[in-house]
Structure 1
């Protein structure tokens, strides 16, 4: 890695909440500007962001038909990597879970696969409809592509010329993801349900009545034991995936939840909305362990938060600011 990671530091459980909160003080954030024009109105808009599995690169999908890959240690655009080739706004970016240097991105009618190290497009798949969601199978051999017309295309990244299969959900869908073991596809619906389908048969095996209104987003914690679900009712619910019971419902948000993310250890979950400037960060566990590790992983702080939504562009904040 070129540097030696710092030794572990133990933090008392009673101090953990304040330690975590202090990490996200605005003064510790770092800005990653797409460019620096005199007027913010000319700034490129970031539509999607994603960390790779090592946490040493972050990709941004832009409304300028561009994917940019940042090194968090170098906030100047000249040190980033531009991936060019999309014909329309890039709606979503996602990293290959098995290869920290490969990623996929989509725009309307098109999905591209990249290796950012060599700044090369590895393949392009033409799809029908407006692509809005991407999700890799854990073995990285399949990519699920969700569209606005409620279709889910499944693509083999090794053979991008054809689509493996297409599934049409019977109601509006907003996000799709795979379970950590790769056996199930989880699909959000406008009916407030999360539908579980077996992979690759896509037969429905279970559905979770999660919210009274549309479910917009979901994410499994790193262990796969808890599913976080965000709805248009501005509520965030946490579900036990072993018994499918609701553990907690958080209602502090004041706008529909559109995106969320877990910390590396599943202890914290953050949620945000397109209609609010607040990012809600909550403890996802009933109780914290006696000690938490506050060391640096891959020469980088463990608790790091990346976000966008204002004219400045990408911001990253965390313990010992990146």
Structure 2
């Protein structure tokens, strides 16, 4: 099901700049996560052609927007209270032996967090007790991860073109399927019956879950031996990121071509594209109401917020360097991103009195 939305006033496009100009970005500084490690030289190039991210590499909000988790290149997983930016008020989850590729809160359990490291180890944590409730190993060179909406399963993709279906309570994968290309990112539909997967060959496949079989077929005959699977083809190069709006009406995809494509999920046509990105679109995130979208990139020093329905530019967040990771909170107008290797959040007022 879609994330729970408490009744609240939506922020009109005209009010957006003034609203966020009233807040300064709040830094959540973890000194250890900001240090570049010897094996993560920023000048070193990954297989994707981009330098690795040093410091915070991934961000996830819990379902109630009361906690935000970060995973870093120093192998640390940390959980923050947005109202308390001091590192002493955060929770450090230790145990990984390699840089963290993804963190993701269980969408159905506000205190359960999953972390995935580049050495193919997945861990599930209870952030209240700091206990690791499950560990899955041997997932290869892990690339991406997503929870099913019911919070019972995870889907993991690695650089060897494999997808793993994982039960949160089991230490071995339920299913392993070889894919035609490397999966860079994935997003479930809100029913959990389909998953949208962005691939290195530029396509987006729509697969059934947990079978991981094509859902849609074209209704015409192609060339002999040509697949009849229907896929989304909105990028001239690699498709890096994908996100489904909270309303379920729009699917966003981002590529190395610096384009964000917005797809109508009822007709599966590209309604519009956003071309204001300075470089490859590494991450995508919708606001809690689905009204706004923002992308993160390894190039440029501005974060451009656009209105989902029109694709029009709404606001620019100025940054001191490129911001590859962005994440709107699921129930509030809190906007989290990485800068200078650390977490930043705009919209939270840590000085307010209760």
- TM-score w.r.t. structure 2 length? 0.78
**Secondary structure of 2:173's match?**
strand
- Are the equivalent residues in 2 in contact too, given 1:133–1:175 (CA < 8 A)? yes
Give 3-state SS (helix, strand or coil) of 1:24's partner.
Answer: helix
Give the corresponding residue for 1:292. none
Q: Which runs of 4+ in 1 moved over 4 A?
A: 7-11, 40-44, 319-322
Q: Distance in 1 between matches of 2:206 and 2:36?
A: 42
Task: Name the structure, 1 or 2, with higher relative contact order (CA <8 Å, separation 6+).
Answer: 1
> How far did 1:219 drift?
0.3
| TM-score normalised to structure 1 length | 0.86
Q: Kindly tell me: are residues 310 and 25 of structure 1, through their superposed partners in 2, closer, same or farther at Cα, counting changes over 3 Å?
A: farther
* Native 8 Å contact 1:24 1:319 kept in 2: no
Stretch of structure 1 that moved more, 270-279 or 52-61: 270-279
1:240 to 250, 260, 264: 264
User: Is the CA contact 1:302–1:319 (under 8 Å) kept in the aligned structure 2?
Assistant: no
Could you tell me which residue of structure 2 aligns to residue 140 of structure 1? 151
**Change beyond 3 A, Cα 1:10–1:59:** closer
For residue 25 of structure 1, report the CA deviation from its aligned partner. 3.3
Q: Deviations over 1:239-296 (max 9, x none)?
A: 10000111111111121111010000000001110223321210102499xxxxxxxx
Runs (5+) with no aligned partner, structure 2: 1-6, 38-53, 217-230, 313-329
Q: Distance in 1 between matches of 2:255 and 2:197?
A: 13
Q: How far apart are the structure 1 equivalents of 2:9 and 2:140?
A: 50
Query: Matched residue of 1:21: which SS?
Result: helix
* 2:23–2:347 contact (8 Å) kept in structure 1: no
Number of positions where the alignment pairs a residue of Structure 1 with one of Structure 2: 297
1:140 Cα deviation after fit: 1.1
Q: How far apart are residue 27 of structure 1 and its match?
A: 5.5
Shift in Å at residue 24 of structure 1? 3.3
Q: For residues 72-87 of structure 1, what are the structure 2 equivalents within 5 Å?
A: 72-87=82-97
Distance 1:310 1:54, change over 3 A: same
1:41 is displaced (CA, Å) by 5.1
Q: Counterpart in 2 of 1:68?
A: 78
Q: Please state which structure has a larger fraction of its residues in strand.
A: 1
- Per-residue Cα deviation, 1:121-147 (whole angstroms, up to 9, x for no partner): 111000231112110011111111111
Number of the residue aligned with 2:242: 218
Written as runs of structure 1 = structure 2, the 5 A alignment for 1:280-291 is 280-286=304-310
Distance in 2, Cα, partners of 1:99 & 1:264:
18
Could you say what the CA RMSD is over the residues aligned between the two structures, in angstroms? 2.5
CA distance in 1, matches of 2:302, 2:36: 24
Q: Which residue in 1 is equivalent to 2:29?
A: 33
- Report the counterpart of residue 316 of structure 1 in structure 2: 345
TM-superposed deviation, 1:26: 8.6
Instruction: Give 3-state SS (helix, strand or coil) of 1:22's partner.
Output: helix
- How many angstroms apart in 2 are the aligned matches of 1:148 and 1:106? 14
Partner of 1:179: 189
Q: 1:302 to 1:177 in 2, by over 3 A?
A: closer
CA contact under 8 A between 1:301 and 1:318: conserved in structure 2?
A: no
